[in-house]
Amino acid sequence: MSHALQFYIDGAWVDPADGLKTLDVIDPSTEEAFAQIALGSQADVDRAVAAARAAFPAFAATSKEERLALMRRLLEAYKARYAEVADTLSREMGAPKELAHRAQAGMGTAHLSKMIETLENFEFEELRGSTLISKEPIGVVGMITPWNWPINQIMCKVAPALAAGCTMVLKPSEIAPLNAIIFAEAMHEAGVPKGVFNLVNGDGPTVGEAIARHPQVDMVSFTGSTRAGILVAKAAADTVKRVHQELGGKSANILLDDVDLKRAVKLGVESVMRNSGQSCNAPTRMFVPAELHEDALAIAKATAEPLKVGAPSTDSVFLGPVVSETQYDKIQRLIESGIKEGATLVTGGPGRPEDLNRGYYVRPTIFGGVTDEMTIAREEIFGPVLSILPYESEAEVIARANDTPYGLASYIQSGSLERARKVAAQMRSGNVYINYPAWDAGAPFGGYKQSGNGREYADFGLEEFLEIKGTVGYAAA
């Protein structure tokens, strides 16, 4: 990859300002480095922010039609690099080949297409009496994105920023950074104006913090762990910039007593295991009626055990490796805590699958008889680990499902849509999914409580990048 040791600043690929410092990019299926990236510094962030600040007045003044033309060109440029993006994602973060091509890379196309449609129908001005309500781009946006759904989160920030007329500086995850370099190349090929989009690779404590603290950055949009999100918010506080966050989750999946148990458990298990459990909204706490608990465990075991774990390039693999040694070790500690604290190990457990002696592979693991105070029921594991918790009454399970510092998503399964809707209305989460619906690019995505603030997707995401101005007396009374 020709630009891996450079940054994209002010419309050109440039060398690091303070000399070349590199970081290995690790293939999690082999534990070996297969590429290197340059690590940025405060000076690189300063250059990128200065370019974005200089480009902002002209880009903010562009018409909706001009920005739509740019976004349509970007869509075509991204499609031209689609297979390369998918293969890169599979290599650097371990996504199985089929998942990388269908979903991981596909999210980029879906979100950009939806934002184009959103912008086509979006009104930036409205007259209320004699007052003009204007929605204007917030300014320079710092973007910090994660490794688990990399292109998804890049596009969820870049697309609405372009639609709004903002300029930006992106720091992708240093663990899975190569897809972002391809994306920057696609932006250049699409003819993005100089300074509108800038890319600086680096780690969180250096580049991420420099972006969050920078006085010329008007907004920081962060996706990652709640722990890291708190640090970003603190770093941003001194400059009173807008902080938009999509953070962690510990989502409840409530199976009501009228549910098709086999279907509900099977789909719930597969939802947790997909992407090796590395999804912030995975339904990792499955609540089942106490009288159905043993049946649910048997179905979960029968579902999980045939799921194939292996190299991402292998056909029919459902779970690839988790992304890094750090993640692997964390997941192993939490699996051990579940055993130590008395949960029933239904399947899986510590260590790699028996036929794999290398790579960050985790056994699909299911615990039964889990209680609310257990560590595996409280902490976000971010791996292929499901906790099944029995309950006695509907009122009880609603209270227990909401008893978490997180509030990203909830899942409700019921044979009665009316009943599911009533339970959904009581969930303290940004999203509720009834009976495993199809994904909707137009639904707002984001969380309550410590799962963050603000929303992504469609017009909800676009609004986050806009300031509201009221011009009183604009029209004759």
What confidence score (pLDDT) does residue 1 get? 61
Look up tokens 């009943």; give the residue.
419
Contact call for residues 172 and 154 (beta carbons, < 8 A): yes
pLDDT at 331 over 90: yes
Q: CATH for 7-247+451-471?
A: 3.40.605.10
Average pLDDT of every residue of the chain: 98
DSSP notation for 174-219: SSS-HHHHHHHHHHHHTTPPTTTEEE----IIIIIHHHHH-TT--E
Q: Which residues are catalytic?
A: 246, 280
Distance of CA 250 to the CA centre of its chain: 14
What confidence score (pLDDT) does residue 2 get? 83
pLDDT at 477 over 80: no
Class of domain 252-440: alpha beta
Count the neighbouring beta carbons within 10 Å of the beta carbon of residue 254.
Answer: 29
Local structure of residue 467 (DSSP, 8 states): E
Contact call for residues 176 and 92 (beta carbons, < 8 A): yes
pLDDT at 288 over 90: yes
Tell me how far apart the alpha carbons of residues 242 and 8 are, in angstroms, rounded to a whole number: 24
Q: Which ranges of 284-324 would DSSP assign to H, the alpha helix? A: 293-304
Local structure of residue 21 (DSSP, 8 states): -
Tell me how far apart the alpha carbons of residues 96 and 439 are, in angstroms, rounded to a whole number: 20
Q: Model confidence over 192-251: pLDDT tens digits?
A: 999 999 999 999 999 999 999 999 999 999 999 999 999 999 999 999 999 999 999 999
pLDDT band at 455 (very low <50, low <70, confident <90, very high): very high
Contact call for residues 449 and 114 (beta carbons, < 8 A): no
What confidence score (pLDDT) does residue 97 get? 97
pLDDT at 40 over 70: yes
Count the neighbouring beta carbons within 10 Å of the beta carbon of residue 209.
Answer: 20
List of residues 6+ apart from 185 with CB closer than 8 A: 3, 81
Contact call for residues 163 and 118 (beta carbons, < 8 A): yes
pLDDT at 143 over 70: yes
pLDDT at 140 over 90: yes
Q: Phi and psi dihedrals of 35, rounded to 5?
A: -160, 170
DSSP notation for 414-430: -S-HHHHHHHHTT--SS
Q: Strands 197-199 and 452-453: what pairing?
A: unpaired
Tell me how far apart the alpha carbons of residues 80 and 82 are, in angstroms, rounded to a whole number: 6
Look up tokens 């953070």; give the residue.
247
Burial (CB < 10 A; 0-12, 13-18, 19+), residue 205, is exposed
- Rg of the Cα trace of the chain? 23
Q: Model confidence over 241-281: pLDDT tens digits?
A: 999 999 999 999 999 999 999 999 999 999 999 999 999 99
Amino acid at 267: L
Amino acid at 106: G
Q: Residue ranges per domain, the chain? A: 7-247+451-471, 252-440
List of residues 6+ apart from 188 with CB closer than 8 A: 8, 11
Going along 217-269, which residue ranges are E strands? 219-223, 242-246, 252-255
**Closest listed residue to residue 284, CA positions, set 380, 175, 196:** 380
